[in-house]
Structure 1
Amino acid sequence: MPEADGRPFSLPGGMADSPGDGEPAGPPGFTQLTDMASESVGGKILFATDDFFAPAENLIKRESPSFREDEYTEFGKWMDGWETRRRRTPGHDWCVIKLGIQGIIRGMDVDISYFTGDYAPRVSIQAANLGEDKEPEMPPRGVRMGAAATPAEFEAVAELSSNDWSYLVPVTELRPGKPASSHNYFPVNSQQRWTHIRLNIFPDGGVARLRVYGSGQKDWATIDPKEPFDLVALAHGGTCVGFSNAHFGHPNNMIGVGKATSMADGWETARRPDRPPVLENDEKGSLLLPGCEWAVFRLAHPGVITQIEIDTTYFKGNSPDSCKLDGCILTTQEEEDMIKQRWELPGHKWKPLLPVTKLSANESHSFDSLTLELQDVITHARLTIAPDGGVSRLRLKGFPSSICLLRPRERPMMRFSVKAGFRASL
């Protein structure tokens, strides 16, 4: 799984899916990362200068854009994207998006699919890192078609001073491709944490989707050191770095924002072809089944896991029979080696956090981690399910290592161990 783990990407030159380039290049590696602006992770449109033909909220829809050939609204042709009116006043159109996952941006996709004669000819993209106290209270947007921003909205958004935000993409011409697939990819070389995006279109027109790909980054100084914190959450910087099978859903879905909305919002494997014709139990009531499926996660921050939540909601006829969870500590180089070796990690490196445990269908399960006895800091966790099936959410709550080492000793025997030389690699 070479590209989805947050390390640097090998990007094709220029943008893909453009006419005249011969065979279209495949999507760059950063598209395997999370869309941090998507409404599915809490992305939100705060402001748009104009939403006459189609509202800016379409920009951050989870699903790909579609086209309805014969459908019209009272304002004109129905379009699945953000489309402003033909501008007849000075200036250009723009909108502001609050990222649902705030962190490091690796690349963007300005998708103008189906906007064949009315796409925005040029764009630029700016970004800011704002604290919650820096965001003004914006008037509710409501239903926006046929509308332009009100004076009150312009007054509120002016407090953001978005004209002065950093440019991640300078003014650049967009290039249309096939009507149903017109992606303009922009790699971003920045290690800064970002919370808000401003999309400028010059001077007007339509954009189907804006994808903002990257990984979450938590401000660890803001968390309560006395409360367990989800160390694997996608929004905080956790990510899947390897898996055995993801036929129906990627493991990163399990560590997504909020509760799952359907089976499609979880990790689901194919049925194992090596399952026996007739299933039997052992003397303890567990199914006798060969094989298993697994997913490995890099924690957002090294730490001690104290509470484990495994949720099979929506998986009513396809939940796993059982699961187990293990943890280990790896340097960056060791992780890279493991990815190349398909995670054939020696057994002695993995330490049990949860022993083999039966799971129920369509139910949230909570467990205390064995870490309460082991007291080891870990950097990676491996969820193993047997024999196959689906899990909607995985939460690994605990304490970041820097906080663990400073916490009052509530239990006299509490201690933490870190491999020699590891701390220098963080």
Structure 2
Amino acid sequence: MTLRALRLNKLLSNINNVPSVVRFKHVWSSDNVVKSPFEDVVVPELTVDEYVWRNLEKWPTKTAAFCGVTNRSYTYEEIYKQSRTLAANLIKKFKVQNGDVIGVISHNIPEYPTITFGILAAGGVMTTFNPLYTEHEVQRQLELSDVKLMIAYEDYIPVVKEAFKHAKKNIPIISIRKDKPLLENVTSFQELVEDNHIDLSILKQVNRTPSDIAIIPYSSGTTGLPKGVELTNRNLVANFEQQNTGIRQYRYTKETHQDTALVILPLFHLYGLGIIMLHKMSAGVKLLTLPKFQPDTFLNSLKVHRSNIVYLVPPMVLFLGTSPQVTPEHLASVRSITVGAAPLPVADAEKMISRSQNSNLIITQGYGMTEAGPLVTMTLPDRTNYESAGYPLPNIKLRVVDDNMKNLGPCQVSL
């Protein structure tokens, strides 16, 4: 039995502690299959961009994305309009066709949603690059994904150009930067999204369905080189709907209320892109973006901008529980902290809670994988078992198997 299976088996061993309001008679079936405690959801037959924008009229003037460093921001209406303008220019000026793969390499910025929805609205498929990649790592991904166009934050363009040389490819580059002159042979992102003369009727030629691929993030899991994961629109939309059930942390956006989600986890990874950016935008949540983890800007975003919903990885929880810079005021407005990507040590969670002095603070932990779109299990908001990865989301069944693919039950170990 693999170490990963042993860990998952342990995490699932307390699955029967689901509150009675959502619990089956027994979530372990007679053949040792773990069932979700939630009722199945109906997955809308929509593409990702159709799903996110279907409620745009409810919050057009609400802030959609805000930079915690520069303070530049965009409303939902602005991102919708700019993304469609970008999409039309991608088709007209770069000849993007349905299914063409477009690469994006950038740290977290408030323009990330515009880029994402611009690519999708043009019928393209987005593949996200880690901005820390070397030229050879960029080369490998652009060759595997057959990238036709790159959208890059200007700081990473030199690495991208070197990757093109190694790959012997001449791929157009769109540069994201406002305060510097353009590098040679690149197109301005800002000019493309602010083009008021582009004919948007060109978007009528786009033909994408729920079964078409939308995003290709790269994930290495625990071993090997990063592998491209082809996620369809339906994969992603299904996971969004699954998060709108008993595990939901956000409050509904209204005229008088809007939650703020801190976006410090990288958007090139599906944890940040899918769970935080895309799903929360479908609910009208405000995204507070930070380029990377730095103690000062991280704490300032919590204290000054008063984030309600925070997604972290265990080292950040450790920081909040032990750093002398952290005071109860930093966590005063935080209602929910979700931890993923690695197991959360109980001691670290307890230290953070004691530091916060916030009796209403909820800590949840999830388990997922890029191939699953990505969220698979999540603890309920009213649980305090920090060792658990929670319960399967709606429509999900799980198995823990031995080396012969035989199902194992609670606390069973393969011999």
Q: Indicate whether the TM-score tops 0.5.
A: no
- TM-score, reference length from structure 1: 0.28
Greater strand percent: which structure? 1
Q: Which has the larger radius of gyration?
A: 1
